Chain A
Amino acid sequence: MKCEEARIQLADLVTGEASQTSTKKLEQHLMDCAGCRREFAGLGELSAGLRMMEPTKPPGSLRIGFESMLQEAIRNPRSLENGAISADKTGRSANLRREDEPSIHGWLGKLVMQHRWNLAGLAFCCLTTACLQLATPADPISIASAQGKSGRKSSEQLAEVREFRRFYAELLEMRERKSGISVVLPVPPAPRSENVRAVRG
């Protein structure tokens, strides 16, 4: 056996596919030829190394995608004919999209993904505003208004609130006029008409 022929047959020997006859011939040749022996040792080690490589575990989404595709095919066999594997610009194929039936979820998802950072910013702003609102102490007018709006809605109470609001505005004007004197606004009492009258008198 010549070296050239032997080296091609080595592939069979490495993969264990060589017949008994050719194995004997090859072994005889390897005994006599140091070059082929070296080559066989190198290829054998490589082959063993390749076979020892650990398989990569597929992600769980592969099964989910497959099952979804299979169920769709069972439900509607024509979907296989219409279905197409499309690819974006990078060549990455999308998971079994049906091009003739664009899905609303697909569009929405794409839109959300495109603007995800804007949406995140908006959500952050809303959250911050809400936190500031909660952290700011509520002024008595708002409380009074709120009480008027939500709870007791009698006309008398509403009139009290209006009067109290006017009183509070006057106090503010007074503070502006007498800017030299520091007028510290006290925490207004509950909007009762007798209190308002007492202060104005």
Chain B
Amino acid sequence: MEKATDNELMVRVKAGDLERLGELFDRHHVRLFNFMVHLVNNRQLAEDLTQDVFHRMLKYRESFDPQHTFLSWMFRIARRVSQDHWSRIQPEAPKFIEQDGDAPESACEKPGPDEVLILSQDLEMLGKALAGLATEKREILILSQIERLRHEEIARILGCETGAVKVRVHRALKLLRAEYLTLMRGREQAV
């Protein structure tokens, strides 16, 4: 027997068969939890926010549109939950301002030959570099690189054009590289 797709399950949830959400939880709670962990850098908080996402999935199940993917809908809710969290703790500092025009391009515009990255499995440092980025940069990198969503889906989640997603992914990667190199240099100096 073929397994039901995410969309089919969510359509059933929407129709009132709430128990089907359990299957969607089984499939996606790990990635959703990791998305939150990367965004808030706190496991306990990430757990609470993940729970909040599933609660909202039930509460706002009517808003699910089967013409789009379940994943984009789920991550849109997740993003809203994390936005609400940030606005609760720092209402004066909105974290999700899109910064298409003000990214510090010069920081890594022309990398020298010595700056070509040699990751050599240094994923811990990469994780720290990722955690050091602004939330919206981190978010787009998680969605595109870790969750491997298509640019089209990310565009739907962020509410922007696919072209804009490509530009943002590129800029975020460059910023990540700059952050990573800064950390690496700091470590080398400390040694």
CA distance A134 to B19 in the complex (A): 57
| Sample of 16 more A-B contacts, CB < 8 Å, known A11-B166, A42-B117, A46-B145 | A11-B144, A17-B150, A43-B174, A45-B118, A45-B119, A46-B173, A46-B177, A54-B123, A56-B33, A57-B30, A63-B29, A66-B54, A70-B58, A74-B18, A94-B48, A96-B51
With A8-B170, A59-B47, A66-B29 known as contacts, the answer to whether A73 contacts B110 (CB < 8 A) is no
A46 B119 Cβ-Cβ under 8 A: yes
State whether the Cβ of A176 lies closer than 8 Å to any Cβ in chain B: no
A95 B170 Cβ-Cβ under 8 A: no
State whether the Cβ of A181 lies closer than 8 Å to any Cβ in chain B: no
Closest beta carbon of chain A to B78's beta carbon, Å: 13
Closest beta carbon of chain B to A190's beta carbon, Å: 65
**Looking across the interface, which residue of chain A has its beta carbon closest to that of B124?**
A53
Total A-B residue contacts, Cβ distance less than 8 Å: 147
CA distance A46 to B177 in the complex (A): 7
With A38-B116, A47-B173 known as contacts, the answer to whether A63 contacts B25 (CB < 8 A) is yes
Interface bracket on B: 35 or more
A62 B170 Cβ-Cβ under 8 A: no
| Interface hit among A83-91, A107-115, A117-125, A164-172 | A83-91
Near A by CB (< 8 A), chain B positions 40-82 give: 43-45, 47-52, 54-55, 58-59
**Looking across the interface, which residue of chain A has its beta carbon closest to that of B152?**
A17
**Looking across the interface, which residue of chain B has its beta carbon closest to that of A77?**
B18
A interface vs B, CB < 8 Å?
7-12, 14-15, 17, 35, 38-39, 41-43, 45-59, 61-63, 65-67, 69-70, 73-74, 77, 80-81, 83, 85, 87, 90-96
CA distance A51 to B148 in the complex (A): 8
Closest beta carbon of chain A to B126's beta carbon, Å: 5
B166 A41 Cβ-Cβ under 8 A: no
**Which of A10, A50, A58 contacts B141 (CB under 8 A)?**
A50
Closest beta carbon of chain A to B189's beta carbon, Å: 21
